[in-house]
Amino acid sequence: MVKPNLLKKIRGWIRLWVWGVCPECNHDAPKLYDCEICKYYKELPRYRSEQTNEIKTKVWCRFLDGVK
């Protein structure tokens, strides 16, 4: 996975901080099962009530780093 460009960063920020979904796969199958950012809900919980700012920040950093 490569580091995201500006457009992908903007789209990812909106997905994560506004809608509460993974910035990479948008919690959509089948991409969800192979996503290295959220790891199928292990890194980013499915429900917004379970998500904290610390979790979102960790996921955002993984997204920006382009985790392999």
Instruction: State how far the Cα of 30 lies from the Cα of 5, in Å rounded to an integer.
Output: 23
* Environment class of 40 (CB within 10 Å of its CB; exposed 0-12, middle 13-18, buried 19+): middle
- Where does the pLDDT of residue 45 fall: very low under 50, low under 70, confident under 90, or very high at 90 and above? very high
Which alpha helices (DSSP H) does 1-68 contain, by range?
A: 6-13, 53-65
What is the arithmetic mean of pLDDT over 1-17? Answer: 88
Residue 17 pLDDT exceeds 80: yes
Residue 56 pLDDT exceeds 60: yes
Extents of the domains making up the chain:
6-65
**pTM of the shown model:** 0.84
What is the arithmetic mean of pLDDT over 17-24? Answer: 94
Contact in structure between 68 and 1 (CB atoms under 8 Å)? yes
